[in-house]
Structure 1
């Protein structure tokens, strides 16, 4: 399947942290042709044991998180407005006057309220979540509560669209692009022998503490793990030391919390095969599921392979399709040869 089509299918599904059911269902359908797919009973992560496993082979876990940042309803005011809090690292600067979807007893459209600039005393400061309300059209708590319950999730919706060249924008590209890269890896490997027994986890609740990856890593008890996520791509004036360059290939992670052996093997392989790559050096934890997987059980050797992304944690994230495809190619070559 075309990479954009895979990404579009994944991104179109709703999957705010802790309520990933629709996104997990979409991912499970795409995984079915590669092996037996199950859902984690406790946290809902999508797990697939790829093909038939052979005795004596080490187990490799391929992980990407399926959840996305969003909001959760915390209160309904007397006049029918919804108060919210963030699920994950929500950028409050983008909230005012946004159209949102409230996933209540039925899907409702809402508008994040804003004060007209003519009446605003200070528009230079981004609002905090305590001052943000969602207008769903009702004028009383009684009527609103017929359709919305506390704990319902809220999303700024945005479907995948092609930009110029090979770039794509959508909500939830963090980390549905990682899921797409793993699916493309399995497509490249289909019918070929690998050096590992391969398990895939599209994990839940990464944005609220890497929770889904913790339970799956313990259950799978993998020897090695490749965690595919996104990382910062340089847009305008950000530091080159802290950002990758979009279109220049996957970012191979190097960090105290990662396996230097695996990082070096990926670097050598990329150079040998002429696959474009970049380095991402981190001084401690990675902020990804690799942190949880690495210390699961008796420990797992883990590495991060990240896709450069602009506008992270907004509904208009951007990636380059070529970076997804090159990430998949690099991982497929690693699984065949190392």
Structure 2
């Protein structure tokens, strides 16, 4: 697990907000290139091919590179940075949080908050992110030399080990999924496969999935397995809506997902003694599955999710056993393709 933890930590340490995934793509591409030749396309997707090129069955494996964050919209007269969200950042955790600003230099700042002693109670109601500000300790003139509108900001938190095989880090949505596909590529390296496999580490999922749309169109697969995160059990959340940390991958069941692939994943999990839980959705999945499945003439798609706590915060939590189980499930499924 130490090797897998190192991989996850290296991926999470690289910044990559939607449309600005360069560092994340470089880090992920370096890891993936150990097992397959990888390149970056015009949309910032990392793409690599494995298996039997030109085979009748062509399986796309997708996980998204980008993470939620903030974008600088303006610098006010006092030097405070005005911001908006890029992706669905949880605004409840923003006030008083330390942040990293990626301008001409990498700067540290804090999200402004009103002291409770000076609050009349109205501050208890959270304002929208576009009304928040970041204090970088700079005057307006100083700030304008180092920061410009469009620069990105991430909540500051370093990846940390928890007890056992659990870890916490910002960006585990979906660097955990990226780690799954890199580990899957490692498991498949050197195997004789009966299908072509394309790994797509896609950009911009948090703002609409544009990287997956263009990547899947370009690759033109017959089948796809999308790896993302879903909710893990935690206080005040209904357990039937969640997976369990350490309980294995969540096999998606939804109208957009292919029934034969769902059954195949369940059969593969049982055959290889991999723990799992069904993740049943009555509508769309809210992941790249929704876009990839309707690419060109249609793609048979399945979603596999990693249980994760505290989604879209800087303290997301996963269990590394779930990363390993998910990688093994997908690798064994691909090995079984006839």
TM-score by length of 2: 0.97
Tell me the residue number matched to 1:289: 288
- The Cα shift of 1:275 comes to 0.8
- The Cα shift of 1:40 comes to 1.3
Greater Cα offset, 263-272 or 170-179: 263-272
Gap change, CA 1:56 and 1:18, over 3 Å in 2 = closer
SS in 1 for 2:180: helix
Tell me the distance in 1 between the aligned counterparts of 2:191 and 2:311. 35
Instruction: Summarize deviations over 1:207-227 as a string: whole Å, max 9, x none.
Output: 000110000000000000000
Tell me the residue number matched to 1:31: 32
Tell me the residue number matched to 1:99: 98
Equivalent positions of 1:60-209 (< 5 A) are: 60-122=59-121, 123-140=123-140, 142-209=141-208
Instruction: Summarize deviations over 1:169-223 as a string: whole Å, max 9, x none.
Output: 0000000000111111111112111231110011000000011000000000000
SS in 2 for 1:60: strand
Tell me the distance in 1 between the aligned counterparts of 2:230 and 2:55. 35
- The Cα shift of 1:30 comes to 0.5
Q: Is the 8 A contact 1:217 1:296 kept in 2?
A: yes
Give the aligned length: 335
Instruction: Summarize deviations over 1:31-54 as a string: whole Å, max 9, x none.
Output: 11222211111x111111125x34
Tell me the distance in 2 between the aligned counterparts of 1:50 and 1:106. 39
Structure 2 stretches lacking a partner, 5+ long: none
Tell me the residue number matched to 1:11: 12
- The Cα shift of 1:168 comes to 0.5
Q: Is the 8 A contact 1:93 1:127 kept in 2?
A: no
Q: Is the 8 A contact 2:308 2:316 kept in 1?
A: yes
Tell me the residue number matched to 2:47: 47
Instruction: Summarize deviations over 1:45-104 as a string: whole Å, max 9, x none.
Output: 1111125x3443411110000000000001110111110000111111101111111101
Tell me the residue number matched to 2:58: 59
Tell me the residue number matched to 1:318: 317
SS in 1 for 2:34: helix
Tell me the distance in 1 between the aligned counterparts of 2:37 and 2:166. 33
Structure 1 stretches lacking a partner, 5+ long: none
Tell me the distance in 1 between the aligned counterparts of 2:125 and 2:117. 16
Tell me the distance in 2 between the aligned counterparts of 1:280 and 1:132. 36
Tell me the residue number matched to 2:302: 303
- The Cα shift of 1:284 comes to 1.1
Q: Is the 8 A contact 1:68 1:175 kept in 2?
A: yes
CA RMSD of aligned residues (A): 1.2
Tell me the distance in 2 between the aligned counterparts of 1:268 and 1:55. 27
- The Cα shift of 1:143 comes to 2.4
